[in-house]
Amino acid sequence: MSTIAPKFRFSYFLKSLTDNAFWAVILLTLTGIPFVMTLLFYLELPVIDDKLMTPYLALTTIADPARQIPLIKSLLHTDFFRIAAFPGFGFAALLAAGTIFVERKMLAKLQLRVGPFYCGKIEGLLQLMSDGIKLLSKEIIIPAKADKPIFWAAPVLFVATAAAFVSLIPAARGGWVVADADVGLLAVFAIIGFFPVITVLSAWSANSKFPFIGGIRALHQMVSFEIPLILSVLGVVILTGTLNLTQIVESQYHYWWILFMPIGAIVFFIAMLAELERIPFDLPEAESEIVAGWLTEFSGMMYGLVQLGSYLKLYAFAALFTILFLGGWSGPNVWPPFPEEIIQKGIVMGPITAHFPGLPLLDQQMLNDVLWFTLKVAGVIFFILLPRGVFPRIRIDLLLHIGWYKLIGMAFVNIFIALALVYAGVLGPGGIL
Amino acid sequence: MVGEYAASYSHVLLMFGFAIMAVGPALLISRMISPRKLSNPVKFLPMEAGQVPKGEGRTHFMMQYYAYVLMFVVFDVMAIFLYAWGSSLLQLPKTATLPIIAFLGIMFAAMAFALYQSKRRNIW
């Protein structure tokens, strides 16, 4: 039988609501409106159909969808859209949410449980949302002698570093990437190198024993597996001769690199599992030994942010595997072409006919690329999730032994396979491909 | 020229900043709507599975594993050096591969020695 908390008074509840509304209005008026005004002063507003698109004019287009389409189209090609929505943060967060749902349901099925069930009526679809709201309303408790600025900054920095990793991932041809860097692969390695630093800093700042042991374990594990991770990709770079991720995908138009370098792909996958701290390499978060490892002292939304960051990182690693070994977005053309009458005449719905000039916002090629890219990434994510239901955790000396002796050796074997393919004339200039 | 190279990375920084702007408010909102009670000093002790914590929080870790961290400093740089060679391999003459093979041989011998030393736990 559930009871209301004894100190609960409805009048207190109303008072807290109105208090919050009061402060929101005050803060928005004093800071929000000047901020927007300053932003509008410095922002270069777009010119669409020979008209300067002021916010007022943009709001008037709500009345007329036909005038809205050029506005949306111009929005789709801005940097802000790329960063916030499609190949950037929104897309990655959406896939991360899907990953969490699939992981929980699949793990439950593997262990003959039901898993999330009630929230959202259909198979617990909204469980993640309710968990988020729950975490948001929990009190954040910081240990007494913690180093507070670092402890507060660590979850935010973790998410931001994962997002910076996501920004280098191209999702479709034609420049659908946030940052198209010349040496994108090296930039990826540079960003991966930040994760152990953030982990150790957060573990050190908590001033507690369990997080510190977890953080040191994470440091050893990530540092050891970074070298096989870097060396296993060298074969791909030797065969393509470029470090740009978009060009690496374009080089796999005929054959995926996993066909020529399966050893490199396996080494990369295992090193990826260790970098992501997933079973069988989840020693930093070993819940049966050290409570929750370096996450022990994180409570409430801080824990939620670290989880968000780790799943963003999972998406980014799966996408990197897809780009390097599985041909990225290349695949047969399966997306159906847009019907001619929609492009020419508009949409006819019963008595209503609406003519929108330039209706398909995205071309068929791009949608096809995104479809294949998402399917491949989902497949790789499935194989990352699968060991969690199958394998036990391994000991730290065995982990370091695997990383330093076996994986590095196999990565060098992969490099020599790539060299042999180039010098035997199979691939590269003058080769059969 | 340098500016163009730097500009291609500015989007990484923009994305970094966007993520901070997007998730920072979550902590603020959480701080605003969640209950805060300062009554209980036990609540702010470090988590130690029910025990009262003793000693300092920043404990010690087994020294023997630091060998791997020291080795990382060397071999990570080696791995990145190999990228400079690997990305331009198709334009280099074939004879340019031999010095790199010799370099790999030297590094392999060094790594084997370091791994052998890291196994001798009594010296750490």
SS (H, E, C) B65-115: HHHHHHHHHHHHHHHHHHHHHHCCHHHCCHHHHHHHHHHHHHHHHHHHHHH
Q: With beta carbons less than 8 A apart as the criterion, state whether A273 and A380 touch.
A: no
Instruction: Suggest the residue from A83, A89, A176, A188 to mutate for an interface test with chain B (most B CBs closer than 10 A).
Output: A83
Query: Does the N-terminal peptide bond of residue A280 adopt cis geometry, omega within 30 degrees of 0?
Result: yes
Asked if B26 and A300 come within 8 Å (Cβ–Cβ), the reply is no
Quote the strand ranges of A291-351, DSSP E.
347-349
Sign of CA dihedral B71, A317, A289, A129: positive
Q: Which of B11, B27, B47 sits opposite A210 (nearest CB)?
A: B47
Span B61-95, pLDDT tens digits: 666 677 788 888 888 888 888 888 888 887 888 78
pTM for the full predicted model: 0.86
d(CA A229, CA A267): 7
- CA A340 to chain centroid, in Å, comes to 36
Nearest to A87 by CA among A177, A156, A21: A177
d(CA A357, CA A78): 21
- Residue A128 tokens read as 């993640």
Q: With beta carbons less than 8 A apart as the criterion, state whether A248 and A324 touch.
A: yes
What is residue A216's three-state secondary structure? helix
Angstroms from A203 CA to nearest CA on chain B:
9
**A379: Cβ contacts below 8 Å, ≥ 6 apart:** none
Pair type for strands A47-48 and A51-52:
antiparallel
Instruction: Suggest the residue from A26, A91, A139 to mutate for an interface test with chain B (most B CBs closer than 10 A).
Output: A139
Instruction: Suggest the residue from A156, A232, A294 to mutate for an interface test with chain B (most B CBs closer than 10 A).
Output: A156
CB contact B105 to A (< 8 Å): no
Q: Which of A179, A226, A302 sits opposite B12 (nearest CB)?
A: A179
Nearest to A248 by CA among A166, A330, A334, A158: A330
Question: What are chain B's domains?
Answer: 2-123 (1.20.58.1610)
- CA angle A62/A65/A66 to nearest 5° reads 135
Residue type, A393: R
- By the 10 Å C-beta count (0-12 exposed, 13-18 middle, 19+ buried), A195 is classed as buried
Angstroms from B57 CA to nearest CA on chain A:
4
Q: What is the residue-level pLDDT of chain A in tens, covering all 433 positions?
A: 455 566 777 888 899 899 999 999 999 999 988 998 898 888 777 777 777 777 787 788 777 767 777 777 778 888 888 888 888 889 999 999 999 999 999 999 888 988 888 887 788 888 888 888 888 888 888 888 888 899 999 999 999 999 999 999 998 888 888 888 888 899 999 999 899 999 999 988 988 888 888 888 888 888 889 999 999 999 899 888 888 899 889 888 888 889 888 999 999 999 999 999 888 888 888 878 888 888 888 888 899 999 999 999 999 999 999 999 998 888 888 877 777 766 666 666 667 666 665 666 777 888 888 999 999 999 999 999 999 888 888 888 888 888 888 898 899 899 989 888 888 777 766 555 5
Tell me what pLDDT residue A1 has.
45
- Give start and end residues of each alpha helix (H) in A355-430: 364-385, 396-401, 408-423
d(CA A108, CA B76): 39
Asked if A300 and B58 come within 8 Å (Cβ–Cβ), the reply is no
Q: Hey, what long-range contacts does A348-355 have (CB within 8 A, 24 or more apart)?
A: A354/A65, A354/A66, A355/A66
